[in-house]
């Protein structure tokens, strides 16, 4: 049966599931020098999360060995840590688990939105410092405000359902979305990303990172936001990104926070991860951050593990797995 490397962890029950099918699972994280030297060439498949970077050099070094790497499993959604062109060129199938972490990322996004407009972080810090800043921490409601989505896929749609229930008006830019999907959720679809920024005081990012979307959220577009809600309230402008680092220009965000063009910014992902304390954005009082924990819930990790195990079992049983990213290999 197959020999499978799991480099960034996996739910114990999912590992047991693979082992019951007769597969050998090796739980070990490999540093980049080991990956480049071809340590994965001894495996038939590798399962990674975001910590392991499978570059073209790594993938080339992983093919042609005793195990001859056949499948890369991304335990999660984004595949920007995998060189898809190199995988396809070497005949290596890439699969991910797009639906397993949806609810967790939806809830984190809503959490960041609420924490921003109600000053939850500042309130906690002030209490810890012995201050009672009740009169200063006056927030605004999400109800009556326009929420703009950059990308309107599975996660964004989940956020939209919650936001709509809270009384928000939904707007989105997604050139790949069928119009009826947005319409069915009461979301106005725009043909221009700039129009979403012009219309909305709250922006949430839900697209993939690519050359096309790198720094899609920049100083020019942030500058288009008006700070006035659909209800006429001067609520300020707010930005949330729980998608991928690099879509948001972090320097532009810091500049907008310092000028007041942004009232708050909340990021779960960063252009360079792990980000470090010398990132000045982290020190701004209107900034809220989390260390890429969108999928870091017990429930999501359990679902991800089981979905990945099923993909691997199907593949090594001669079936075509679902959620194939590079279908040209098939």
Catalytic residue among 19, 107, 195, 273: 273
Q: Which residue has the tokens 């017990």?
A: 298
Strand 264-267 and strand 238-241: the pairing is parallel
Decide if 17 contacts 34 (C-beta within 8 A): no
Q: How many residues does the chain have?
A: 330
Q: Is 195 a catalytic residue?
A: no
Catalytic residue among 74, 112, 206, 292: 292
**CA dist., res. 108 & res. 172, Å (int):** 19
Query: Between the CA atoms of 109, 110, 113 and 116, what dihedral angle is there, to the nearest 10 degrees?
Result: -100
Q: How many helices (H) and strands (E) does the chain have?
A: 12, 12
CB atoms within 10 A of CB 302: 15
Residue 266 parent element (H or E) = strand 264-267
Catalytic residue among 238, 244, 250, 307: 244
Q: Is 244 a catalytic residue?
A: yes
CB atoms within 10 A of CB 32: 12
Decide if 2 contacts 19 (C-beta within 8 A): no
- Residue 96, beta-bridge partner list: 74
Q: Which residue has the tokens 């599931």?
A: 17
Burial category of 203 from C-beta neighbours within 10 Å (exposed 0-12, middle 13-18, buried 19 and up): buried
Q: Is the peptide bond before 56 cis (omega within 30 degrees of 0)?
A: no
- Whose CA is closest to 172, among 145, 144, 200? 200
Q: Which residues are catalytic?
A: 244, 273, 292
């Amino acid at each position: 049966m197959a020999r499978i490397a799991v480099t960034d962890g996996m739910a114990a029950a999912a590992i047991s599931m693979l082992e019951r099918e007769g597969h050998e699972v090796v739980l070990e994280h490999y540093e980049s020098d080991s990956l480049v030297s071809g340590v994965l060439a001894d495996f038939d498949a590798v399962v990674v999360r975001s910590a392991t970077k499978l570059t073209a050099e790594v993938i080339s070094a992983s093919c042609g060995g005793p195990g001859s790497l056949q499948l890369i499993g991304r335990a999660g959604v984004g595949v920007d840590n995998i060189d898809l062109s190199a995988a396809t060129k070497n005949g290596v199938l890439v699969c991910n688990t797009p639906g397993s972490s949806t609810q967790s990322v939806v809830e984190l996004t809503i959490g960041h939105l609420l924490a921003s407009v109600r000053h939850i972080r500042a309130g906690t810090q002030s209490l810890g410092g012995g201050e009672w800043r009740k009169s200063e921490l006056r927030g605004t409601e999400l109800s009556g405000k326009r929420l703009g989505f950059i990308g309107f896929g599975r996660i964004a749609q989940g956020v939209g359902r919650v936001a709509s229930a809270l009384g928000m008006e939904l707007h989105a830019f997604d050139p790949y979305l069928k119009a009826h999907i947005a319409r069915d959720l009461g979301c106005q679809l725009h043909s221009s990303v700039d129009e979403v920024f012009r219309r909305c005081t709250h922006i949430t990012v839900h697209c993939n990172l690519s050359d096309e979307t790198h720094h899609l959220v920049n100083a020019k577009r942030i500058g288009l936001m008006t700070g006035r809600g659909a209800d006429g309230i001067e609520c300020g402008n707010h930005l949330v990104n729980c998608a991928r680092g690099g879509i948001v220009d972090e320097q532009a965000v810091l500049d907008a926070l310092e000028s007041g063009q942004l009232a708050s910014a909340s990021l779960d992902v960063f252009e360079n991860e792990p980000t470090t304390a010398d990132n000045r954005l982290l020190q701004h009082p209107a900034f809220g951050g989390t260390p890429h924990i969108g999928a870091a819930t017990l429930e999501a990790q359990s679902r991800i593990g089981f979905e990945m195990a099923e993909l691997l079992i199907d593949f090594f049983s001669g079936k075509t797995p679902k959620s194939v990213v590079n279908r040209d290999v098939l």
